[in-house]
Amino acid sequence: MIRAEDPARLGRELLSRYSAADLAVLTPDEAGRFAPHGDGDPRADITLAWELLYRLEPELYDRLVSAERLHPGVLGWLPRHAGRIVEVGAGAGRLTVELVGRGREVVAIEPAMPLRQILARKLGATDHGDRAQVIHGFFDALPVASGSADLVVACSAFTPAPGHGGEAGLSEMERVCRPGGCVAIVWPNNLDWLAAHGYGYVCFAGPMAAEFASPQEAVELARIFYPGSAAEVRRRGRRRVPYEVLGINPPRDIAFKMVGP
Ligand SMILES: C[S@@+](CC[C@H](N)C(=O)[O-])C[C@H]1O[C@@H](n2cnc3c(N)ncnc32)[C@H](O)[C@@H]1O
């Protein structure tokens, strides 16, 4: 999960949620990427804690991202009509469900099995959901042919860290993209790193708020995911919570590269 502000402050509750014993949920391929030295500690490594959340409490994670909707400008910027779209790290489908009406074929790649199950369920209830296939895979070894996609996209999933993309993952996304197609990293972190790799940037303005299902859910999820803001979320008593209150950058931007011939 990409959090732009102070990861330690934002993650302190999640850091106490799981223990080293929970690492047993990871497959060997996952452990090799997310705890490569075999001594991963989800009480010290917030990225590892997020990976355990996806596998141990996927519905809780889905409730969070259902509140964190993408800026309409992001959805407007992405192509409306494409042949093949590949999304990497599709998760529970926050972006995928928006993409299915835009591609003749959508390939949603996601390593965490519980999230693939949620995504498949959602796509089954979505218009054009039958155009999508949900498959297992990782950034650094995409199970897709070279030059076969018009759009290769990741939303809140790619980072420069090798286990979550890195040099190998970016090369893979560009390999899969056809000449003249686009690689897009939605809600990116490490903009300088992406700029150094030739990525442009677009950001959409305007006020944004997370939209929880109810004021109670706002408080419940803030306690876990935005503990530094939980008191203020409770004081406000609203289901809509501006991102400034939560203390994170809103999902309003894209780093992108048009892949040359
Ligand atoms: C914060 S979630 C975002 C999910 C979804 N794209 C969204 O916007 O809601 C990050 C996702 O990246 C996936 N992920 C983590 N490491 C990955 C890797 N090496 N290759 C592909 N996906 C990965 C996770 O399983 C998770 O679904």
Does ligand 1 have an atom closer than 6 angstroms to the CB of 1?
A: yes
Which residue owns the Cα nearest ligand 1 atom 15?
164
Q: What is the distance in A from the centroid of ligand 1 to the CA of 154?
A: 8
The per-residue pLDDT for 10 is 61
The per-residue pLDDT for 36 is 87
Q: What is the distance in A from the centroid of ligand 1 to the CA of 237?
A: 31
Q: What is the distance in A from the centroid of ligand 1 to the CA of 166?
A: 13
Does ligand 1 have an atom closer than 6 angstroms to the CB of 112?
A: yes
With a cut of 50, list the residues of the chain below it in pLDDT.
Answer: 1-8
Backbone angles phi, psi at 179, to 5 degrees: -55, 130
Q: Using CA atoms, how far apart are residues 72 and 90, in angstroms rounded to an integer?
A: 18
The per-residue pLDDT for 24 is 96
The per-residue pLDDT for 261 is 77
The per-residue pLDDT for 39 is 80
3-state secondary structure the chain: CCCCCCHHHHHHHHHCCCCHHHHHHCCHHHHHHHCCCCCCCCCCCHHHHHHHHHHHCHHHHHHHHHHCCCCHHHHHHCCCCEEEEEEECCCCCCCHHHHCCCEEEEEEECCCHHHHHHHHHHHHCCCCHHHEEEECCECCECCCCCCCEEEEEEECCCECCHHHEHHHHHHHHHHHEEEEEEEEEECCCCHHHHHHCCCEEEECCCCCEEECCCHHHHHHHHHHHCHHHHHHHHHHCCCEEEHHHHCCCCCCEEEEEECCC
* Closest atom, ligand 1, to C-alpha of 68: 9
The per-residue pLDDT for 38 is 79
* Predicted model pTM: 0.96
Which residue owns the Cα nearest ligand 1 atom 9?
94
Which residue owns the Cα nearest ligand 1 atom 19?
164
Q: What is the distance in A from the centroid of ligand 1 to the CA of 59?
A: 15
**What are the pLDDT digits (tens) for 2-34?**
444 444 456 788 999 999 999 999 999 999 999
Q: What is the distance in A from the centroid of ligand 1 to the CA of 202?
A: 21
Does ligand 1 have an atom closer than 6 angstroms to the CB of 153?
A: no
**What are the pLDDT digits (tens) for 77-120?**
999 999 999 999 999 999 999 999 999 999 999 999 999 999 99
